[in-house]
């Protein structure tokens, strides 16, 4: 499973990349606003930092004509840009046109199997079902991932499933168990993936025990 970082924050992306856990980046308008920078500048900076890994950046206009214009402009910012397109009628028409020109699209705000199916049929490179937001309204976000994976496998779709709106480490585990292609993970959750209280406790105990050896017997180097 690929790990994308769900952020527009350069420092977080740089750190995830240094750890070796940045197979791509997803941004959305809310994440970009948090950074308080010019959209185009942020996206270009991220694309350069993670090149050749894919970076999703969202087209904003709701109507087909402007959406396609924006998507083409965004796609020209860097060769590793993936254009995020909202799951609407116009959005899927745009995906169809853009896919014909080889522009990779990530259909976002997907909340049902049927929406994922339509996006795949339209030629989306990725679909992004939002699991956390489904959990928020009392539905089971990960059950949707299981269903989409089954349908895509059944019909041999090439569209990759990005588990989005990941809120906790259990989402990541379940995504991996279901064979999702990608999880896009907030930086705070990536940090938590390293941790287990028994690991911390174990390190502490080993260190305490180690100090019981005389210093002359503790040499590792030289």
How many Cα neighbours within 13 Å face the side chain of 59? Answer: 35
- Decide if residue 6 touches ligand G3P (CB under 6 A): yes
> Any idea what DSSP says for residue 159?
P
- CA-to-CA distance for 165 and 122, rounded, in angstroms? 23
Q: Which residue of the chain is nearest ligand G3P when measured via CB?
A: 165
- CA-to-CA distance for 49 and 130, rounded, in angstroms? 26
Q: Of these, 4, 39, 130, 157, which contacts ligand G3P (CB under 6 A)?
A: 130
> Any idea what DSSP says for residue 83?
E
Closer to ligand G3P by Cβ: residue 159 or 165: 165
User: Per CB under 6 A, which region of 130-138, 143-151, 191-199, 205-213 contacts ligand G3P?
Assistant: 130-138
Q: Of these, 121, 132, 168, 192, which contacts ligand G3P (CB under 6 A)?
A: 132
Number of residues that bind ligand G3P (CB under 6 A): 9
User: Per CB under 6 A, which region of 85-93, 114-122, 129-137, 142-150 contacts ligand G3P?
Assistant: 129-137
Residues 101-127: b if buried by 16+ CB within 10 A, e if exposed = eebbbbbbbbbebebbbbbbebbbbbb
Check if 153 is active-site.
no
Closer to ligand G3P by Cβ: residue 8 or 98: 8
SS (HEC) of 18-73: HHCCCCEEECCHHHHHHHCCCHHHHHHHHHHHHCCCCEEEECCCCCHHHHHHHHHH
Residues 157-186, one symbol each (x = binds ligand G3P by CB under 6 A, - = not), give -------xx------------------x--
Return residues touching ligand G3P (CB under 6 A): 6, 26, 28, 130, 132-133, 164-165, 184
Kindly list the catalytic residues.
84
């Amino acid at each position: 499973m690929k790990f994308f970082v769900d952020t527009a924050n350069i420092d977080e992306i740089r750190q995830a990349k240094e750890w070796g856990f940045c197979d791509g980046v997803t941004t959305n308008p809310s994440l970009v606003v948090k950074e308080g920078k010019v959209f185009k500048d942020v996206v270009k900076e991220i694309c350069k930092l993670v090149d050749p890994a894919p970076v999703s950046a969202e087209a904003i206009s709701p109507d087909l004509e402007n959406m396609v214009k924006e998507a083409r402009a965004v796609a020209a910012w860097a060769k590793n840009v993936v254009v995020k397109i909202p799951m609407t009628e116009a959005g899927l028409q745009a995906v169809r046109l853009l896919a014909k020109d080889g522009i990779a699209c990530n259909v976002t705000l997907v909340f049902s199997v049927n929406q994922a199916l339509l996006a795949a049929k339209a030629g989306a490179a990725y679909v992004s079902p939002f699991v956390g937001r489904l959990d928020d309204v009392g539905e089971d976000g990960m059950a949707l991932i299981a269903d989409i994976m089954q349908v895509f496998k059944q019909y041999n779709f090439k569209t990759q499933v990005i588990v989005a709106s990941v809120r906790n480490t259990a989402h990541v585990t379940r995504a991996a168990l279901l064979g999702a292609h990608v999880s896009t993970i907030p930086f705070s959750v990536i940090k938590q993936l390293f941790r287990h209280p028994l690991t911390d406790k174990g390190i502490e105990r080993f260190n305490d025990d180690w100090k019981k050896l005389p210093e002359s017997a503790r040499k590792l180097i030289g």
